[in-house]
Chain A
Amino acid sequence: MLRSAVALVAALLIATMLPAGSGSAAAAGAVEVTIAEVDLDGPHIATTTVTVTNNGSTRLTRLNVSFKGPVGWAVQPASQSWSKAVSPGASATLTFKIQVPAPRPGFRIRTFAATATYTGGDGAGTAVGTRTQYTGEALPNLAAAYNNVGVTDESATTAGDFDGEGNSFSAQKLAAVGVTPGGTVTALGVDFTWPDVAPGEEGNVAAGGQAVQLSGTGERLAFLGSGSSFGASGNVTVHYTDGTSSTGFFGFPNWSFQEPGTHGATLVASSDGRNRPDGYGNAGIAYRVFAHQVDIDPSKTVAFVVLPSSPSLHIFDMKLAD
């Protein structure tokens, strides 16, 4: 039976009643929007409430609240108005219905957002509240998310499929430029660890929105990887232990044939040629590994990371760094 909040790991329990999201961290005196817990044990039509609290110093009027659930989840109504004025210190509570699907296996993040527009109150005219609820468990580490064979031995190339066409990095040629299983690859001031897997085994993550636990603090989150298309980029969301999150955009150039600075990436290593299903080939052409990073909130502790939804973006390692 599924509960609306589930342990990420035994040691790290994230409760359902998280203050959730940037919008709910209201400054003193600000209008605050909060969303009550949503019963995620579908399929059913759940009801939740959005409370708009007027912490401002003047009456709040012409309140309208729009409400959204996860993509594809129907809500009713999409928005509604509050006909009465909300005095300073008082609040208005509006009810919304949500079509909640049956619980889905795996780690799921369900985010609900309510946007209030109004006159008066704190004078800001708009306030946003979000609520994030989790079900299932995030993957314990990046290795648990490995889902792609990106490196093969030149004597056994058929297992490789970095690019969806059966091609892969050559383990020998990577070693020739200092990239070996379990070895250190330094870039952007970060000591990355190259996946400690044998050639021909899954050893990178084709990013598909996987949630991966990552513990610690830092000013940035750095990635080692490469792209297998010309659009290997997307948003990574960093979730903190206080239930808030931040988002950063990054990407890698295509492993070959694309400017090394594409998406703002940094070239780390160039290996000569690649392994194709019929053996080593394309000598003289560089197949490359890159690094990139996103800023995170250094005042918070990271709990887990949700990778971009961009399967041609391959990640060999990720690390928090100052």
Chain B
Amino acid sequence: MVDMPHPSRRTVLGGTMAATAVVAGGSLLSSASSVPARQPGQKSMIGVPFEAVDTVRIGLIGLGNRGMGMLSGWTAVPGAAVTAVCDIRAPRAKTAADRVVAAGKPRPKEYGGSATSYQEMLRTEELDLVYVATPWEFHYEQGKAALLAGAHVGVELPVATGLDELWSLVDTSEQTRKHLWLMENCSYGRNELAMLKMAHEGVFGEVTNGHGGYLHDLRALLFSDTYYTDAWRRKWHTRSIASFYPMHGLAPIAAAMDINRGDRMLTLQATATAPRGLADYRERNVPRDHPSWQEEYINGDLVTCLIGTHQGRVIRAEHDVSSPRPYSRINSLAGSRGIMEDYVPVGGSSARVYVEPDHGGHSWRDFTPYRDEFDHWLWKTVGSQPNPGGHGGMDYILQWRVVQQMRAGLVPDIDVYDAAVWCAPVPLSVRSLNNGGRAVAVPDFTRGRWADLRPGLDSRQSEMPPVG
């Protein structure tokens, strides 16, 4: 068994960040909003296209549930070539390489065996894209190292867990002129993209509020000895009180509100319930000699962030993985002319809607006609073909789109500024909770460019460049 490196003190949330002073007499903790100066020559990555490449050479770091799951998509996208695979556990790299060969593609180079194997991969290989799917505590260092090695980087959620780390990724992206983004697959969900397009059309009127989150009963997986490697995800619940992973629901709402593209998050206030779910589950389901009995779970079951924006909107972002409940990312958006709510079945669809002037009488309607009318081109084209991706097809759409943008030399839909602000609730929830739930300032990672209207996920249709 390979020894996992211990997370550094920096990844223990609430450490250095929590010590920041409260503004005397004020109700807003503002020091988080201070914008570090750029290095000489460092410039924004907003609107910067990828340099077009014919083949996207991809290196994967982390080949567990997610990395291995995404491998088939990376192997299948036209014009993508998985040329290197890395896991601290060398046998996983071998399994991954075997799968690439089984898919009829050239064998990628294998890296593994130590916590620093990925560095060797980055030193040795010429990669256009590095995909990081390791546990959260490694994302920052691996993402930054990949940028410094000259690759563009797609990082699983979250890209980093500290504010200083988020700034460091922004700065490193700007300095290396390489993109780093969050591999936020749910932003490509069918309902989420339709919701975004409806918002842009004005179907909801002036959007005033939205709610999203990650409400997923992970208790069985968290206590499984085989699912999360070394139970890394459960251990986070012993370390900190934080909204660890709200991004799947937060990002689509942020997109529909044009955060970083006309609006910006200004303040965040967090609440956390008592931690009850994991201990209660363990009591009922886990043998007394299991190592988890040495642990104390401190994270609240439901951690809620209320985020205020410059345009006067409010976002509620929730995180709960330790309570019994059916899955939901909430996906609710509302404005002066109506509302949609996902995960609330009406008629044949999984969502419901009520918008003026189409509807009246105070009764919900089926979302399906709107989903169909506002279906994103990626779903009408890529999404309508059989594909190897998980999560109903949105994983593959994300991968296809990343490769397409890199091959065609397009501007990425999601950039380092989106990644940073979507992940900022992780450290900011800690800061707010450490200060009695008071509002903390959300940094402007764009350094003043947030007001610029610019395209994002609501993209124009374009083709995948032909292969060969």
Contacts and interface: CB of A to CB of B under 8 A. Distances in A.
A101 B453 contact: no
Contacts of A310: 357, 360
A29 interface: no
Given A101-B197, A102-B197, A72 B451 contact: no
B200 A70 contact: no
A99 interface: yes
Nearest to B263: A74
A71 B458 contact: no
A4 B297 CA distance: 59
B176 to A, nearest CB: 27
> Most chain-A Cβ atoms within 10 A of its Cβ — which of B361, B451, B454?
B361
A55 interface: no
A97 interface: yes
A284 interface: no
B197 A43 contact: yes
B361 A99 contact: no
Nearest to A210: B357
Residue of B201, B204, B258, B337 most packed against chain A (CB within 10 A): B201
B335 interface: yes
B201 A208 contact: no
A105 B458 CA distance: 17
Contact size class for B?
20 to 34
Contact of A71 (B205, B359, B451): B205
B197 A74 contact: no
Nearest to B376: A102
A312 interface: yes
A311 B359 contact: yes
Contacts of A43: 197, 200, 455, 458-460
Nearest to B204: A72
A104 interface: yes
Contacts of B359: 311
B358 interface: yes
B455 A101 contact: no
Contacts of A73: 200, 202
Contacts of B200: 42-43, 72-73, 99, 101-102
Contact of B452 (A44, A71, A76, A229): A76
A264 interface: no
Interface in A299-315: 308-312
A209 interface: yes
B34 interface: no
B197 A76 contact: no
Residue picked from A98, A164, A308, most chain B C-beta under 10 Å = A164
A71 B337 contact: yes
Contacts of A74: 258, 262, 453
A72 B335 CA distance: 9
Contacts of B217: none
A209 B357 contact: yes
Given A43-B458, A72-B200, A72-B207, A309 B357 contact: yes
A73 B359 CA distance: 21
B201 to A, nearest CB: 4
Contacts of B207: 72
B202 A101 contact: yes
A105 to B, nearest CB: 7
Interface string A97-118: 1110110110000000000000
B203 interface: yes
A15 interface: no
Given A74-B262, A76-B451, A99-B258, A104 B201 contact: yes
A208 B203 CA distance: 13
B463 interface: no
Contacts of A104: 201, 373
A36 interface: no
Nearest to B207: A72
Nearest to A99: B453
A209 B355 CA distance: 12
Nearest to B257: A74
Residue from A73, A102, A229 having most chain B Cβ neighbours under 10 A: A102
Contacts of A44: 455, 460
21 contacts: A43-B200, A44-B455, A45-B455, A70-B202, A72-B199, A72-B204, A72-B207, A74-B258, A75-B453, A76-B452, A76-B453, A97-B453, A98-B453, A99-B258, A99-B262, A101-B201, A101-B202, A101-B458, A105-B373, A309-B356, A310-B360
Given A101-B200, A310-B360, 15 more contacts: A43-B200, A43-B455, A44-B455, A72-B204, A74-B258, A76-B262, A76-B452, A97-B453, A99-B258, A99-B453, A164-B363, A207-B357, A208-B358, A309-B357, A311-B359
Interface of B: 197, 199-207, 258, 262, 335-337, 356-361, 363, 373, 451-455, 458-460
